[in-house]
């Protein structure tokens, strides 16, 4: 079985995000970028499935600027077999990415598509669900455990009330949650091997997809600073402040 994994290049999670002076977005110039953490978990899960003998090939795909090649090379170093970059300098929104992934999926014919449940830059949590709808494939989101057998995927997912286990027929879409696995450390020998693996570059026009943004960002502002906390001498004073100052009681 072939597994297709989508990865996104985002501002590194350790970096303090700063809003541009003109309020049009966040500052990305000279900022450390890395693979979206949820996507890294998706790549790790695909590699583990291959190591278990479930998968025969792992293809990673990213949509975005030429710099995304670095993110794809990281995925190849983790253990993916080859990579595809759908190169464009347009601002890509979830629906456009889902349409591009649909075309790549139809081209590659994988038995399973794994995505991170969301990207840490926009926190949209939409692409996996949109892709499943466009392909008319079953989906299981927020996966904390994945088991493949007999043409089906048994997925344990996190819901508000606890855990839910779904059995879905393949081919299918799975989006990963944080507790699914812990990605491995990328070693230098694997980084060197990744440089020799195939990286194919496609264009949205060649796939017949219009990636023009449907939404416009009006303004981006930093959240207001939180006021300093205070100490109260006893429970009576706490209740008084919650009732008369915070007005939550």
Nearest to 8 by CA among 59, 72, 66: 72
The tokens for 219 are 């303004």
Among candidates 12, 39, 4, which has minimal Cα distance to 117? 39
User: Residue 75 CB: number of other CB atoms within 10 A?
Assistant: 29
- At 147 the three-state DSSP class reads strand
Residue count (the chain): 249
* Inter-residue contact 35 to 9 (CB < 8 Å): yes
pLDDT along the chain (249 residues), means of 10: 95 87 83 93 96 95 94 95 94 93 96 94 92 96 93 91 93 94 93 93 93 88 83 91 86
Domains and CATH numbers, the chain: 2-244 (3.40.50.620)
- Count CB atoms within 10 A of the CB of residue 200: 13
pLDDT value at position 34? Answer: 93
Note the pLDDT of residue 129.
96
How much is the pLDDT for 224? 82
pTM of the model: 0.85
Residue 28's pLDDT is 82
CA 4/CA 174 separation, integer angstroms = 11
Predicted pLDDT at 225: 83
Residue written as tokens 């059995």? 167
């Amino acid at each position: 079985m072939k597994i297709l994994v989508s990865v996104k290049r985002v501002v590194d999670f350790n970096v303090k995000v700063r809003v541009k002076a003109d309020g049009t977005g966040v500052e990305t110039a000279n900022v450390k970028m890395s693979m979206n953490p949820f996507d890294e978990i998706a790549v790790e899960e695909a590699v583990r499935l291959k190591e278990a003998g479930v998968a025969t090939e792992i293809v990673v795909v990213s949509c975005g600027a030429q710099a995304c090649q670095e993110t794809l090379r990281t995925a190849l170093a983790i253990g993916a077999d080859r990579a595809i970059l759908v190169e464009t300098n347009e601002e890509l929104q979830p629906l456009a990415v889902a349409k591009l992934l649909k075309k790549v999926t139809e081209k590659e014919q994988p038995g399973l598509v794994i995505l991170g449940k969301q990207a840490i830059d926009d926190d949209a949590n939409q692409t996996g669900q949109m892709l499943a709808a466009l392909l008319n494939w079953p989906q299981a989101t927020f996966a904390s455990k994945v088991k493949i057998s007999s043409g089906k995927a048994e997925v344990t997912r996190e819901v508000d009330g606890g855990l839910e286990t779904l059995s879905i027929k393949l081919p299918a879409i799975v989006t990963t949650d944080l507790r699914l696995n812990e990605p491995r450390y990328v070693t230098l020998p694997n980084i060197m091997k990744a440089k020799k693996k195939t990286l194919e570059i496609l264009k949205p026009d060649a796939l017949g997809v219009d990636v023009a943004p449907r939404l416009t960002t009006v303004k981006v502002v930093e959240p207001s600073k939180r006021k300093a906390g205070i100490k109260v001498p006893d429970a009576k004073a706490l209740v008084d402040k919650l009732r008369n100052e915070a007005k939550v009681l």
